Each structure stands twice: as structure tokens, then as C-alpha cells.
Amino acid sequence: MKNKKSPRAALDMDEEEFRQVGHHLIDKIADFLGNISQRNVHKPGAAEIAHKILGVAPLPDTGSSNENVVEEISDLLLEQSLFNGHPRFWGYVNGSPSPLGALGDLLASSINANVCTWTVAPVASEIESQAVGWIGDLLNFPNDPECNSGGLLVSGGTMANITGLLAAKRARFGAKIREQGNNYKGAENSKFYATAETHAWLEKALDIMGFGESAIHRISTDENLRMDVNALQEAINNDLKQGFIPLAVIASAGTVSTGAIDPLEQISEICTQHKIWFHIDGAYGAVSACVPSISEQLSGIGLADSIAMDAHKWLYVPFEAGCILLRDRQHLVDSFSHETTYYPTKNSGETLPIPYRDQGIQTSRGFRALKVWMCLKRAGRDGYAEMIGNNIRQAERLYKKVAEYPELEAVSHGLSITTFRYRPAEVQNDKFLNQLNQKILSSLQEEAWAYPSHAWVNGKYLIRVCITNFRTTDQDIDELPEKVLSIAHKYLQ
Ligand SMILES: Cc1ncc(COP(=O)(O)O)c(C=O)c1O
């Protein structure tokens, strides 16, 4: 009897077909990368087009061929997306994605490691461990076995920060808080100290953690939007008198609007004095610790109990990849480990490290570590110092360039963020200027030559350029002020 071949499952692909479809896709991506500088940053109206094409289509009853699926969706994506890898994409804090990182994603998905335990994902777990250690090295975070520092990768800065605060809560109140919740030991009276410049992940975190947003004690800032340490000291003293529990101070190593760095060492001293958890949100700026001109300002990173950083921002790793590091990673285990009947409680031989599922919120975990590891391996400390240092220099260059134009007001420069606005001498009214600059930014984005975003600073609406982009050239920077002026003049003729 002849062996009858069973029909291939719809989602299976034979080797040859994978090769063909895959090569074709890689060719298309290579073409896209090859001419990204000549394109516009996005296609105005793309959101409406995408919605029209995809938004209402029902699930097909019958499937399509692999070629058709890849062709249809890659065309749409490569035409209608907003390209944060474009040299003049300077919005929000999106890193330009490294092509090597994209290949890392392909390899990671092909292996499909579930990085929950060392036995389930032996190589992948080791790669994550090494990547996390290397991130610590880049940040100059303590990395000796004595202090048991360490952490894990998470989806992004928001999750990294939330994970840090959960560890802070567990560290403060002990194991029972996990059983009894925020009623335990008056935990509901906890306070968290941060400035108004702190990213909105904090509100989300305290809502999720059951403390509510009212647990935030906002600390005033100095003229450079850095935390005022005297105001912090005073706030803690007052809260203690009133019976509140100061649980954590959240400092920023690079605020989202202007790149301000809070005085980390002074904040750390206050935390030590009052035995308060010192958390740093370094989602954007912490990696600039590898740049010699910035490292001193960030030397306080080594004093933090926990620090959140984002590889998908200034490490130029494709989304998603954030990282939480703890001075003592046992707090993660204390916060997140659970014994179950359906997972082995111990690693085989008990010689392997603690599983990642016992150190964070997720159980099944993707292999995001691979792209992070590959980028770190490729660039090394020197490569990152050069790329990040270059972005900082370019932001400073823009600040100086803008200051040369009497009609433009250069407002701030911090790390790789510069803010400015159009302000001709004859217009003094801030309300009018805010509206005008909103229109200018909208037009600039609509023209799609460049894509900055905005910031509100002291009631002023500003054009904000955040350069976390290894493709940006000095010429790109130099041309921006004239572009802004040509739009502004159309509005004010
Ligand atoms: C300073 C800072 N913290 C936290 C976040 C949130 O990070 P994510 O968007 O990766 O969750 C951002 C995002 O821009 C940020 O700039």
C-alpha cells in the first residue's frame, strides 16, 4: 500500500514556499529601507484609507494563498504607515527601528520561545538574562552578585514602571499585602511623589494598583522643570505628620516633554533618610548614561531601588521592549512568584535561575529579548554612545539654529529634545500664539516632510523635536526652521 500524504494544514508552509514568500518579503522590506529617506514621513489621510480598507471587512470564510496574504498586507503597510524610521520622524519618543532588530523578530517568532522558564526556553532565557545585564551595564546600574541586581524585559516603559512600583509596595508591606490587599497595614494611605512632568503611566499605575490617582503628591519643579528637592522634603515631612505612608519617590531621567533630568543623587539622599523606595523612570533618557557628557548627570541611577527603561525608544529596538531593573531582584520574586499545581515549582536540578514567570506580571512571555540582544551585540557600548550622543548634539544644534531666527523662540533643550515656537515680535498674546503654533504643527505634519510633535510647557504650546533616530542628518535639522517659517508666514501674512 502506498503511503498517502495527508493534506497540509492551512497554516503550514513547506520549506520551498517559505523560502520564496520570505525572500520576496525581505526584498520588499529592503527596497522600503533603501528609499526611506526619499519618501514622505507618512501619507496624510492614511488612517481613513486604512479604516476604509480594513475596518469593516468581515472574517473571510475561505483563506487566501500565502503569497496573496503577504502581498496584500505588506503593500498596505509599506505605503500607508507613519514611518518612525524616517530620518525626519521626531514625534513623541519613538526610536527609529534597527533593521537587525526586525530580523531578530523574525528569528524569535520562528523559534517561538515562551520565555517563562529556563527549561521551556533554555537559550532564550539566557539571552534575556544577558540582555538585561548589558542594559544594566549601559546604564551604569550596579551589576555585582553581592547586591543581587537584575530584572526582566516587559512590553514597554509603562509596564516597566508599574512593575517597579508593585515591587516597591511588596517590599514596604511584606508578603501579607499580596493576600490582604491595600487594607493591610494602612497601605491605602500610601503616597507617591512625582512632578507634574512625570509621564502619565503613573496615574495608570496607581489606578491599577488600587491606590487611586489621589495617592500622587505632586512636587513642584525649578525653572528647568526638575524636581525641587526642598519641596520634596517638605511634602514628605507634612505627609508623615498627617499619618500618610510615603511609599516611593518617582524621579525622571529624561522627562517626556523636555528631557529634564531630576536631581537623582539628592532625591536618593532624601529617600535613604526616610527609608522610601527610590524609583527612576528612565524610559526615555536612562540610556544616555553611556554618553560621557551626560553620564555625570545620571550617576544617581546607581542609587535607585528600581529603574524603568525602554529599549524601543533610544536603543532603537523595534517595538515592543521595555526593561525593569532592581537593585535587589528578590523583590520581583517576592512580588510575582506563585506556586501552582500545573507548573513545576522548581527548575530541574534546582541549579537554574528563577523562572521569569515568577519575576513579573506575565506567565507566557515572548522572545523580545532576542532583538534587544542582537542590537546591543551589534552596536556595543561605543556604538550606542555614538548614536545617542549624536542625537543629543543634533537637538542642541537645532536649539542654537532656532535661536538665530528672530521670529522663532527657542524654549528648551534637554537630552535629545528641543522645543520652540513661532513668536514674531508683533504678537505677544500667548493664547493666540498657542493657537497659531498648533496650526503650524498640524500643517507641518500634514506636509509630511518632517514629523515633530508638541509639548505644553508653562502654558505655552510648543513644537517639540525629539531625536531618537539614527538616520537623522545635520542637514535635516538645519532645514527645519525655514520649513516652520514658510508655514507660519502663510498664516500670518
Ligand atoms: C519618560 C517616559 N516614561 C514612560 C513612557 C511610557 O513608555 P511606553 O510608551 O513604552 O509604555 C514614556 C513614553 O514616551 C516616556 O517618555
Which pLDDT band, with edges at 50, 70 and 90, does 191 fall under?
Answer: very high
* Residue 391 alpha carbon to ligand 1 centre in Å: 18
Which pLDDT band, with edges at 50, 70 and 90, does 17 fall under?
Answer: very high
Examine the fold and report which residue of 352, 379, 406 is the final residue of a domain before the chain moves on: 379
Closest CA to 159 of 99, 105, 204, 104: 204
Lowest mean per-residue pLDDT among 3-7, 125-129, 272-276, 408-412: 3-7
- Residue bearing the CA closest to ligand 1, atom 9: 157
370 shares a domain with 394? no
State how far Cα 224 lies from the chain centre: 23
* Residue 307 alpha carbon to ligand 1 centre in Å: 13
* Residue 256 alpha carbon to ligand 1 centre in Å: 7
Which pLDDT band, with edges at 50, 70 and 90, does 340 fall under?
Answer: confident
H-run or E-run covering 381: helix 369-403
The pLDDT score that the predictor gives to residue 346 is 58
326 shares a domain with 410? no
Which among 225, 255, 310 is the best mutation to test ligand 1's pocket, defined by most ligand atoms within 8 Å of the CB?
310
249 shares a domain with 395? no
Q: Is 279 in the pocket of ligand 1 (CB under 6 A)?
A: no
Residue 99 lies in a domain: no
Is the full-model pTM beyond 0.95?
A: yes
Q: What is the DSSP string of 50-104?
A: HIIIIITPPPPSS---HHHHHHHHHHHHHHHS--TTSTTEESTT-PPPPHHHHHH
The pLDDT score that the predictor gives to residue 344 is 67
Q: Is 101 in the pocket of ligand 1 (CB under 6 A)?
A: no
- Give the range of the structural domain holding residue 20, as residue numbers without chain letter: 15-83
31 shares a domain with 114? no
* Residue 331 alpha carbon to ligand 1 centre in Å: 23
* Residue 128 alpha carbon to ligand 1 centre in Å: 21
The number of domains in the chain is 3
State how far Cα 312 lies from the chain centre: 5
278 shares a domain with 182? yes
449 shares a domain with 333? no
Ligand 1 atom with minimal separation from the 322 CA: 10
214 shares a domain with 181? yes
Domain at 459, CATH number: 3.90.1150.170
Residue 95 lies in a domain: no
Which among 92, 93, 226, 252 is the best mutation to test ligand 1's pocket, defined by most ligand atoms within 8 Å of the CB?
93
What is the sign, positive or negative, of the torsion defined by CA atoms of 214, 282, 264, 254?
A: negative
* Residue 197 alpha carbon to ligand 1 centre in Å: 12
Residue 100 lies in a domain: no
Q: Is 322 in the pocket of ligand 1 (CB under 6 A)?
A: yes
Closest CA to 423 of 443, 439, 408: 408
Q: Which three cell numbers stand for residue 99?
A: 533593521
Q: Is 283 in the pocket of ligand 1 (CB under 6 A)?
A: yes
Q: Is 281 in the pocket of ligand 1 (CB under 6 A)?
A: yes
The pLDDT score that the predictor gives to residue 147 is 79
126 shares a domain with 51? no
The pLDDT score that the predictor gives to residue 3 is 60
* Residue 334 alpha carbon to ligand 1 centre in Å: 26
Q: Is 158 in the pocket of ligand 1 (CB under 6 A)?
A: yes
Lowest mean per-residue pLDDT among 164-173, 308-317, 341-350, 367-376: 341-350
Which pLDDT band, with edges at 50, 70 and 90, does 343 fall under?
Answer: confident
Contact present, 281 and 252 (Cβ < 8 Å) = yes
373 shares a domain with 408? no
Contact present, 248 and 235 (Cβ < 8 Å) = no
148 shares a domain with 33? no
Q: Is 95 in the pocket of ligand 1 (CB under 6 A)?
A: no
* Residue 316 alpha carbon to ligand 1 centre in Å: 14
- Residue bearing the CA closest to ligand 1, atom 7: 157
Report DSSP state, residue 114: -
Torsion on CA atoms 464, 467, 471, 474, rounded to nearest 10: 80
Residue 474 lies in a domain: yes
* Residue 464 alpha carbon to ligand 1 centre in Å: 16
Residue 2 lies in a domain: no
Examine the fold and report which residue of 323, 357, 379 is the final residue of a domain before the chain moves on: 379
Lowest mean per-residue pLDDT among 5-9, 308-312, 331-335, 475-479: 5-9
Q: Regarding beta strands 190-195 and 150-154, do their DSSP bridges make them parallel or antiparallel, or are they unpaired?
A: unpaired
Residue 366 lies in a domain: yes
373 shares a domain with 394? no
Q: Is 91 in the pocket of ligand 1 (CB under 6 A)?
A: no
Residue 232 lies in a domain: yes
Calculate what percentage of the chain has a pLDDT beyond 70: 97
Q: Is 162 in the pocket of ligand 1 (CB under 6 A)?
A: no
330 shares a domain with 469? no
The pLDDT score that the predictor gives to residue 2 is 55
Q: List, for residues 19-50, the tens digit of each pLDDT value.
A: 999 999 999 999 999 999 999 999 999 999 99
Residue 75 lies in a domain: yes
Examine the fold and report which residue of 320, 350, 379 is the final residue of a domain before the chain moves on: 379
Which among 202, 225, 256 is the best mutation to test ligand 1's pocket, defined by most ligand atoms within 8 Å of the CB?
256
State how far Cα 146 lies from the chain centre: 29
Which pLDDT band, with edges at 50, 70 and 90, does 342 fall under?
Answer: confident
- Residue 228's CB: how many other CB atoms inside 10 A? 16
Domain at 347, CATH number: 3.40.640.10
